[in-house]
Chains A and B, each alone.
Chain A
Amino acid sequence: QSVLTQPPSASGTPGQRVTISCSGGTSNIGSNAVHWYQQLPGTAPKLLIYNNDQRPSGVPDRFSGSKSGTSASLAISGLQSEDAADYYCAAWDDSLNGRGVFGGGTKLSVL
């Protein structure tokens, strides 16, 4: 059971906008920044969004993040076939003297 809760799956058609939610608690999302990682099939994870809503260089602006209270969301607009991947939210948890925690991942299908 993951500390952060994500829906196991999401889907959309090309061009649509999809959102993926991430729910946590006061010791993790409520106290620290949320980061999002994209894992394309058969590859290592890649940083997609950091500090709630910041995009690393090279990440298209179709990807955006937000946070409110103990929840966060990843939005993908103008969905493309190459966006089909697993998406993970992550944060640091202040309980137990600090530890990294991840969501269980959301598998995004582009129909």
Chain B
Amino acid sequence: QVQLVESGGGLVTPGGSLRLSCAASGFTFSDHYMSWIRQAPGKGLEWVSYISSSSSYTKYADSVRGRFTISRDNAKNSLFLQMNSLRAEDTAVYYCARGPYTYGDAFDIWGQGTMVTVSS
């Protein structure tokens, strides 16, 4: 079945780095834009970034631009989020999601999320 499985979360000190991964299965990964969305504890959803199907186009939220880098490996059906210069306010569950298919579209499949905690 169509599935997204995130990994790589954990505890990191402020200023540190972490790389999240998302393994996709059950669909043609290379046909789809992919996104990262996060949710701070007890808070709402925040879109973080998306990447086009061929990696030619990326976009970031203002809150992470210059610190986070989204990438993908279509041969391995995998999506990544390299997070540098982490701050306490980056603490959140990070979800991998399929979409948008085109600009304006929804995120139609979500992973279960991976928790990132930034604390000293």
Contact = CB atoms under 8 A, between A and B. Distances in A.
Contacts, number: 65
A55 B107 CA distance: 13
Interface in A58-108: 88, 90-92, 96-105
A44 B110 contact: yes
A44 B113 contact: yes
A56 B108 contact: yes
A99 B110 contact: no
Interface residues of B, number: 23
Contact of B59 (A45, A46, A97, A101): A97
Nearest to A48: B106
A73 to B, nearest CB: 17
Interface of A: 2, 32-33, 35, 37, 43-47, 50-51, 56, 88, 90-92, 96-105
